């Protein structure tokens, strides 16, 4: 059975960014008013790096998502 696990879920007034794991891959899901993005990556680092080039992603949402992801992984969220 493949279980999807949320590593991080950031929500602001500008949109939402989620990092999820399952099946040995990391799924990056981002959305905001009038745009959305969904991609698969080999590693969490790849997904976090790719977030920087997601079209229309506001800088403040990008920074908050990475801060939240770092906080979660430091707390053992990615273990």
Has this prediction a pTM greater than 0.75?
A: yes
What was the pLDDT predicted at 79?
42
39 beta partners: 28
SS3 62: helix
Q: Is the dihedral of CA 44, 50, 52, 58 positive or negative?
A: negative
Q: Where are the beta strands (DSSP E) in the chain?
A: 5-12, 15-22, 25-32, 35-41
What number of other Cβ atoms are within 10 A of residue 58's Cβ? 13
Q: What is the largest CA-CA distance in the chain?
A: 37
pLDDT in tens, the chain (79 residues): 577 898 999 999 999 999 999 999 999 999 999 999 999 999 999 999 999 999 999 999 999 999 999 999 887 654 4
């Amino acid at each position: 059975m493949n279980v999807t696990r949320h590593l991080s879920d950031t929500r602001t007034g500008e949109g939402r960014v989620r990092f999820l794991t399952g099946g040995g891959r990391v799924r990056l899901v981002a959305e905001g008013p009038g745009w959305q993005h969904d991609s698969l990556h080999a590693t969490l680092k790849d997904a976090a790096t790719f977030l920087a080039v997601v079209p229309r992603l506001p800088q403040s949402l990008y920074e908050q998502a990475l801060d939240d992801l770092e906080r979660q992984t430091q707390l053992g969220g990615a273990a």
